[in-house]
């Protein structure tokens, strides 16, 4: 098959988007229907191992291509999804609730956007980079949703606040790293090339301010179903 550049909303891209949603639904359904009490843990650890192996392979390829200096400047895991990936791995392996807060809010929001509107992805199907990109970003979403639907973890309002505060602290640290390395982690120095995202509005640094509000709004959006469910459950409880 001839290699072509990435084409947004091509059949392969749409298939990746659909698999990102179908896979956690299917895995959670299997766990709920199974009589094996540790099946959920087994699946979770398999997903965690797949994410780690994919990331390690990516580092190896990038080190070989860019060298140590290029790797440090362009490929350290200092984007939101880079940290969310490791938080997702920790969530799946240990059911860590603190890691789940980062994975759920950073990962579900950031990686979902990265799956739907990839930024900086030029490789098309069936190139290695295409698969690596979607295994990493779709894997974060799958891991977060499986931890929620299959392992029974739930986001909280306190967790949302901690995750948003941690995001801003992390961004401040990454901004300093960008100054030292001349890098653009978290896209704090410039918007990503070739992004389809509608959220990079205005010139630097004003788009960063806008992204702050977008991030908070999206954090609230992914928490809202659980807040509504909790309110409905409390309303239906008999009064004493």
Q: Is residue 18 part of a domain?
A: yes
Q: Is residue 45 part of a domain?
A: yes
CA 190 to chain centre: 20
Q: Is residue 240 part of a domain?
A: no
pTM: 0.93
CB-based contact 190:119 (threshold 8 Å):
no
Cα separation, 9 vs 30, in Å, equals: 29
- Taking residues 119-132, report their average pLDDT: 89
Q: Is residue 239 part of a domain?
A: no
Over 74-115, what HEC string results? HCCCCCHHHHHHHHHHHHHHHCCHHHHHHHHHHHHHHHHHHH
Q: Is residue 3 part of a domain?
A: no
Q: Is residue 238 part of a domain?
A: no
Q: Is residue 163 part of a domain?
A: yes
Model confidence at 87, in pLDDT bands (50, 70, 90)?
very high
Q: What value does the mean pLDDT of the chain take?
A: 93
CA 150 to chain centre: 18
Q: Is residue 127 part of a domain?
A: yes
DSSP-derived 3-state class of residue 31:
helix
Q: Which domain holds residue 19?
A: 11-224
Model confidence at 53, in pLDDT bands (50, 70, 90)?
very high
Handedness of CA 218, 76, 24, 99 (dihedral sign): negative
pLDDT per residue as tens digits for the range 56-74: 999 999 999 999 999 999 9
Choice between 199 and 28, residue whose per-residue pLDDT is larger = 28
Number of domains in the chain: 1
* pLDDT score, position 1: 45
CB-based contact 104:155 (threshold 8 Å):
yes
């Amino acid at each position: 098959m001839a290699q072509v550049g990435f084409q947004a909303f091509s059949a392969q891209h749409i298939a990746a988007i659909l698999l990102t949603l179908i896979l956690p639904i299917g895995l959670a359904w299997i766990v709920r229907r199974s009589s094996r009490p540790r099946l959920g843990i087994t699946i979770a650890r398999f997903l965690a191992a797949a994410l780690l192996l994919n990331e390690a392979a990516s580092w190896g390829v990038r080190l070989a291509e860019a060298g140590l200096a290029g790797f440090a400047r362009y490929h350290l895991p200092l984007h939101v999804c880079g940290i969310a990936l490791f938080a997702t791995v920790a969530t799946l392996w240990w059911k860590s609730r603190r890691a789940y807060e980062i994975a759920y809010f950073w990962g579900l929001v950031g990686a979902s956007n990265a799956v739907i509107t990839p930024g900086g992805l030029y490789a098309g199907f069936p190139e290695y980079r295409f698969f690596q990109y979607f295994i990493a970003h779709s894997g974060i979403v799958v891991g977060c949703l499986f931890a929620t639907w299959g392992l029974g973890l739930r986001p909280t309002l306190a967790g949302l606040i901690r995750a948003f505060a941690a995001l801003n602290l992390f961004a401040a640290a990454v901004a300093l790293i960008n100054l030292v390395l001349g890098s653009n982690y978290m896209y704090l120095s410039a918007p990503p090339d070739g992004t389809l995202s509608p959220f990079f509005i205005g010139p630097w640094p004003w788009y960063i301010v806008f992204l702050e509000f977008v991030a908070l709004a999206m954090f609230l959006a992914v928490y809202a179903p659980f807040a509504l469910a909790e309110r409905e459950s409390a309303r239906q409880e008999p009064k004493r």
